[in-house]
A and B are shown apart, each in its own frame.
Chain A
Amino acid sequence: MPQVRIVARNFMDMVAALPSAKLDKLYESSFICEALLRSLPPLAKKYTLQMLFIESPVTAKSMEEWVLPDGFSKHRVAIDRLLQLRIFLELSDRKKETIYLINPKFQSSMQKYLLHGGTLPRESMPLGATVRLLTLEDLEAYAQKQWECFLLQLINSAQAERLTNFSPSMIKVFQRGLLSSRENEVPRLTENGFQFLLMDTNAQLWYIIREYITTSEDRGVDSSDLISFLLELSFHSLAEAYNLNTLDDVQINVIKDLADLGLVKLQQGRKESWFIPTKLASNLAVSLSDSSSHKQGFVVVETNFRIYAYSSSKLHSEILRLFSRIEYLLPNLIVGAITKESLYTAFENGITAEQIISFLQQNAHARVAERIPTVPENVTDQIRLWETDRNRVEMIPSHLYEDFPSKDVFEAACEFAREVGGLLWEDAVKMQLIVRGELHQQMRDFLRRLK
């Protein structure tokens, strides 16, 4: 899904916006370097690797020789990105030529990583009588439940079975931009909110995390600490226990919030407590570089516009309700229909046809996912047609000119309007013409000159 990349890139912009001292501090951790490196465009990755063991700076000119002429724009993008993230430093040498030097901090932690490997600040706890590990399935189910619970609370706090520990003010922050809350009114999902729901989990997660980080300063948490902790967390081994006493106070608070999101599971033993990272946490850094997540789809769309969604999730039925009419809710199956009316409400809420189609395609059930097209063509065409239905009338502000003194003046005016590309309609008999509004001034000057 394209949104993941956009959201993730925004996150990287946030990293790039950190002051250089903080950024340099981040680069002391090889895991952050790794996560950042993976988020770079392919060419930038290659340049970084190439420069990794070069101590002396390289001139911009010789670097340009690395690429073919048609790759030059990509080259610029890559270099810009590297400079923004301060992985490359731009200097000028004695001959006033631009030279690039790889950030020494980044270089040394990366070199160390390649040669000796990285070590996490904490070791996983040994399996023993106290630590009983969950199976991967259990852990995934837990993460999913936690996340859906959070989302339900976000969009509709009445529906949620169990509230998360987030303070109402925190939830407000997350809802900002997703819900419109006017005074004395039930909050309604905004256009962005709908689009948010149609995104895949990783993109949603990044959106929330981003909001969480941007407001961290208000809570007295340093944003670079938070970023480094989050990125570090994504490199912890899945489904292994880590002792909570390896964290400092700020991190413990953060980890409690993350447990609410389903990123980690907290468990308590007799003496110690520990956290277990879930798949959501380990996907955090992965989704920065690759957007293709392998989620099990659940939706089957038939040519008769019926939707069968094999899911018991309340969230899924809420999402489907956004653009279809839900007919039956069975224990493991949601049956609905895409109708003109249901789509019109969706369009009014600002969801586009493309979003709906891509949602249906992304979440297609494994049985239909192999088929081409995944969603029947007549359904996708009809969804698009219904969308264009709403845009049948196009409004163009314009001016009507009439009462021309002679046929010649009228024809000259027509000719002029045609030349400037603003003629919309003319009637030679009644000597009337309509021209685009923004050209009125030009038309007036022209007609004045004719007189």
Chain B
Amino acid sequence: MSSAPSKLYADDVSLVVVLLDVNPFFWAAGASGGNHPAATLPFSKFLKHVIPFLNSLLLLNQLNRVVLIATGTNSCGYIYDSGSSGSEGNNRVPKVYSEILRNLAEFVENDRKVGRGPERVASSVPSLLSGSLSLALCYIQRVFRSGPIHPQPRILCLQASPDGPEQYVAVMNAIFSAQRSMVPIDSCVVGVYHSAFLQQASYITGGVYLKLPQLDGLCQYLLAIFASGLQSRSFLQLPKPAGVDFRASCFCHKKTIDMGYVCSVCLSIFCKHHRRCSTCG
């Protein structure tokens, strides 16, 4: 389960799992223009920033691996894995680019089909962060068990849409299991608001949390901050969290609350006083 230091490579060989937020509600909001981040940075441009970053990760070391997971509103899926596709040597980059685009289109289509039922028209529908975090952790566990020696894993969340308080328990569970297997979660928020989930995730797992002040320099931020390996991070001046939003969601209405009631037996959180705990009875 945990990784012994002897199992690691001597150099900074890393496995980076990038969680890409493809929430259509967020990215479409930019079409109307205005101050919305997606207006200055439409999804196509966003990808143009992200893909050179993925390439540069692969460039740093022959053994580096990059996995791209898309976070949709209803489902999550693997988009690209540098280890599985035989992407070596010749014109790697265009091939990767087209592969990512094709898989993304496929994914978005599927995601839409899965989400049938009453369409929510609200402007902010959260992405399924808990799902993609779990996918990433499962992938990392598989790599841990794959052989005697494995690269050092880390997760990078490129989050655009706001948090979904109803995912509170699932996300926290994912964060704690990442902490247990010593996987740092880096978060780069491109959206409008700070993300309390990701603030906590990076804080607990020892990753870097950054809300971009300027979106057009995304690639530069990614290269300067999130490309550095875990070993060199100990020497680097990295952005420090200004404050972490530790607020929890209540289990009964899935609302983010400042103050609430906690079951003394199972530590479930409620916004109102209950006679009996609905979790443990």
Contact = CB atoms under 8 A, between A and B. Distances in A.
Interface string B83-98: 0000011111111100
B183 to A, nearest CB: 19
A114 B94 CA distance: 10
Contacts of A42: 11-12, 228-229, 231-232
Interface in B80-119: 88-96
A450 interface: no
A118 B91 CA distance: 6
A53 B223 contact: yes
Interface stretch (B53-61, B137-145, B158-166, B258-266): B53-61
B62 interface: yes
Given A34-B59, A37-B59, A52-B223, A43 B11 contact: no
B214 interface: no
Contacts of A50: 220, 223-224
Interface in A153-203: none
Interface stretch (B205-213, B234-242, B249-257): B234-242
A74 interface: yes
B219 interface: yes
Contacts of A292: 9-10, 149
Contact of A53 (B149, B220, B227, B232): B220
A208 interface: no
Interface residues of B, number: 37
Given A70-B235, A237-B88, A292-B149, A49 B227 contact: yes
A286 B56 CA distance: 16
Contacts of A118: 91-93
A371 to B, nearest CB: 12
B55 A114 contact: yes
B62 to A, nearest CB: 5
A83 interface: no
Contacts of A285: 62
Contact of B91 (A34, A117, A291): A117
Contacts of B13: 290
A53 B90 CA distance: 24
Interface string B23-65: 0000000000000000000000000000010011001111100
Interface string A46-71: 10011011100000000001111011
B94 A117 contact: yes
A117 B60 CA distance: 14
Given A116-B93, A119-B90, A46 B237 contact: no
Interface residues of A, number: 43
A74 B236 CA distance: 10
Interface in A99-131: 113-120, 123-124
A289 interface: yes
Contacts of B59: 34, 37-38, 113-114
Contacts of A45: 12, 60
Nearest to B54: A114
Contact of A286 (B62, B148, B231): B62
Interface in A370-421: 370
Nearest to B55: A114
Contacts of A123: 90
Contacts of B92: 117-118
A53 B93 contact: no
Given A42-B12, A43-B235, A237 B90 contact: yes
Interface in B132-187: 148-149
Contacts of B229: 42, 46
Contacts of B88: 237-238
B14 to A, nearest CB: 10
A206 interface: no
B62 A289 contact: yes
A236 interface: yes
Contact of B235 (A54, A75, A114, A286): A75
Nearest to B89: A237
A38 B236 contact: no
Given A53-B223, A236-B89, A291 B10 contact: yes
Interface string A61-98: 00001111011001100000000000000000000000
Nearest to A66: B237
A49 B232 contact: no
Contacts of B95: 117
11 contacts: A38-B59, A42-B12, A43-B235, A49-B56, A49-B60, A66-B237, A114-B56, A118-B91, A118-B93, A235-B89, A291-B11
Given A71-B236, A290-B9, 10 more contacts: A38-B60, A42-B232, A50-B220, A66-B237, A114-B59, A117-B55, A117-B93, A235-B89, A237-B89, A289-B11
Interface of A: 34, 37-38, 42-43, 45-46, 49-50, 52-54, 65-68, 70-71, 74-75, 113-120, 123-124, 235-238, 285-286, 289-292, 294, 369-370
Interface of B: 9-13, 52, 55-56, 59-63, 88-96, 148-149, 219-220, 223-224, 227-229, 231-232, 234-237
